[in-house]
């Protein structure tokens, strides 16, 4: 089997690379021959993740691990020194609504990411320059100086290493126009492409423009994930995508530079598609091993559990009894109590007044959205967005 180094051996950009101005943004996109089958597989695996039913604790653990992994790799490559276990702890504390007093920039950066990644619907399309600036402000609050948070770059910039320039992004006088053209394409034309393709093209162009003084990679990767989840891959948040994409930083940066230099998105799309597919396969394997429907459950208990997940609200013993045929109410009660013991259902009340439901997705969401509301200076639209989210897993 040919490995990635061999397949991408021709990707040898000549440095320094210069951003090419694209207004209007009308990219010529071609995909590798393997893309159609891989895209179908990613969609199938996303649907597969939707069919798994986990206990509340198992699901929370999966989500925390995936969030922590993605955030760790996205911030580590930009210089955040925190080890994965500390990122995971901060992620769990954020999900559980535990405040961290004066956390300092490395920890604050993680907390900001957890809060913003929790509500991708809030940052959904249509995008605007103002919404992009808002994402950057949230991520960089307490990380960069206040005058750099959500503020477009107003000075020339270059990406360098050891004093050697490798990339020159868009000149400051063109940033607003180019970012506007990219946002317009994303709103009006990107939907004609598979979400993996559209998200990849957007991410590359965003990084190439480099609209902010700092934090471009983190903002771009956040928007990349937002796009995937809002435009057809809602379970991408369960997958450790950044670990796969950023496992080889040299190749990652070479592919970005190659795309700038040649105008070909094919190689970058191939690389990112394979990374996403690998992350989905790993997630399906992990969740499948925890799937309650795969355990030795009575078939009627499985039917109750599947219906409860679709119910989205509290239900009674009598309602649950109507979902299955040929068994007594007493047997249904035993199934409901057993599912509650497994953590698959939660209940309130006693005796015949007892009600059950599939557990709320994240009861601590209010604490996270409060973080965003504070960062946005009292903008309570984030609270409104959170209130409309589907609250079952």
Could you tell me the pLDDT band of residue 30, with boundaries at 50, 70 and 90?
very high
Q: What is the mean pLDDT of the chain?
A: 90
C-alpha 225/C-alpha 221 separation (Å) is 6
Contact by Cβ (8 Å): 335, 304:
yes
Q: What is the mean pLDDT of residues 53-64?
A: 91
Which has the closest alpha carbon to 279: 251, 250, 238?
238
* Domains of the chain and CATH, by start: 4-288 (1.10.3290.10), 299-357 (1.10.10.10)
Considering only residues 56 and 173, tell me which one the structure prediction assigns the higher pLDDT: 173
Contact by Cβ (8 Å): 183, 132:
yes
Distant-in-sequence, close-in-space partners of 343: CB < 8 Å, separation ≥ 6: 55, 56, 57, 58, 359
In three state form, how does the secondary structure of 307-350 look?
HHHHHCCCEEHHHHHHCCCCCCHHHHHHHHHHHHHCCCCEEECC
Q: CA 259, 260, 261 angle in degrees (round to 5)?
A: 95
What is the 3-state composition of the chain as percent helix, strand, coil, each rounded to the nearest 5?
60, 5, 35
For the residues of 253-267, what is the DSSP string, one character each?
HHHHHHHHHH---HH
Could you tell me the pLDDT band of residue 214, with boundaries at 50, 70 and 90?
very high
User: Can you give the pTM of this predicted structure?
Assistant: 0.89
Q: What is the mean pLDDT of residues 251-272?
A: 97
Three-state DSSP class for 143?
coil
Could you tell me the pLDDT band of residue 374, with boundaries at 50, 70 and 90?
low
Residue where the block lists tokens 């477009």 = 152
Q: Residue 158 — φ and ψ, nearest 5°?
A: -150, 145
Q: What is the mean pLDDT of residues 291-307?
A: 91
The mean-pLDDT minimum among 77-86, 199-208, 353-362 falls in 353-362
For the residues of 165-200, what is the DSSP string, one character each?
EEEE---GGGHHHHHHHHHHHHHHTGGGS-HHHHHH
Could you tell me the pLDDT band of residue 225, with boundaries at 50, 70 and 90?
very high
pLDDT score at 268: 98
C-alpha 272/C-alpha 165 separation (Å) is 26
Using the predicted structure, report yes or no on whether residue 377 has a pLDDT greater than 60. no
Q: What is the mean pLDDT of residues 69-88?
A: 97
Contact by Cβ (8 Å): 269, 197:
yes
Contact by Cβ (8 Å): 127, 187:
yes
Could you tell me the pLDDT band of residue 362, with boundaries at 50, 70 and 90?
low
pLDDT score at 141: 95
Considering only residues 207 and 7, tell me which one the structure prediction assigns the higher pLDDT: 207
């Amino acid at each position: 089997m040919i490995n990635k180094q061999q397949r991408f051996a021709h990707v040898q950009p000549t440095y320094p690379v210069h951003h090419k101005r694209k207004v209007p943004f009308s990219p010529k996109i071609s995909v590798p021959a393997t893309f159609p089958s891989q895209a179908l597989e990613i969609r199938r695996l996303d649907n597969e993740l939707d069919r798994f039913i986990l206990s509340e604790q198992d699901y929370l653990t999966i989500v925390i691990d995936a969030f922590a992994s993605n955030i760790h790799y996205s911030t580590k490559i930009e210089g955040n020194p925190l080890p994965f276990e500390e990122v995971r702890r901060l992620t769990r504390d954020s999900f559980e609504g535990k405040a961290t007093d004066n956390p300092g920039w490395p920890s604050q950066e993680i907390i900001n990411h957890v809060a913003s990644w929790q509500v991708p619907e809030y940052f959904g399309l249509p995008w605007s320059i103002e919404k992009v600036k808002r994402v950057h402000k949230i991520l960089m609050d307490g990380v960069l100086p206040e005058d750099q948070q959500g503020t477009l770059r107003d000075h020339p910039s270059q990406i360098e290493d050891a004093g050697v320039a490798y990339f020159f992004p868009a000149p400051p006088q063109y940033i607003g126009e180019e970012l506007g053209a990219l946002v317009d394409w994303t709103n009006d034309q990107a939907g004609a492409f598979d979400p993996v393709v559209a998200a990849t093209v957007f991410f590359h162009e965003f990084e190439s423009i480099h609209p902010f003084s700092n934090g471009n990679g983190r903002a771009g990767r956040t928007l990349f994930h937002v796009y995937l989840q809002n435009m057809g891959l809602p379970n991408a948040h369960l997958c450790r995508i950044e670990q796969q994409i950023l496992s080889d930083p040299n190749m990652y940066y070479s592919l970005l530079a190659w795309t700038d230099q040649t105008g070909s998105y094919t190689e970058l799309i191939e690389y990112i598609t394979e990374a996403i597919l690998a992350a989905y396969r790993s997630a399906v394997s992990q969740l499948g091993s925890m799937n309650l429907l795969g355990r030795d459950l009575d078939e009627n208990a499985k039917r109750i559990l599947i219906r409860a997940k679709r119910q989205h609200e509290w239900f009674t013993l009598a309602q649950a009894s109507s979902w299955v045929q040929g068994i007594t109410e007493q047997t249904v009660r035993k199934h409901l109590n057993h599912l509650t013991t497994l953590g698959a259902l939660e209940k309130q009340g006693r005796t015949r007044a007892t009600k059950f439901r599939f557990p709320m997705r994240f009861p601590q969401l209010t604490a996270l959205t409060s973080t965003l509301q504070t960062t946005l200076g009292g903008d309570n639209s984030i609270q409104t967005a959170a209130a409309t989210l589907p609250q079952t897993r």
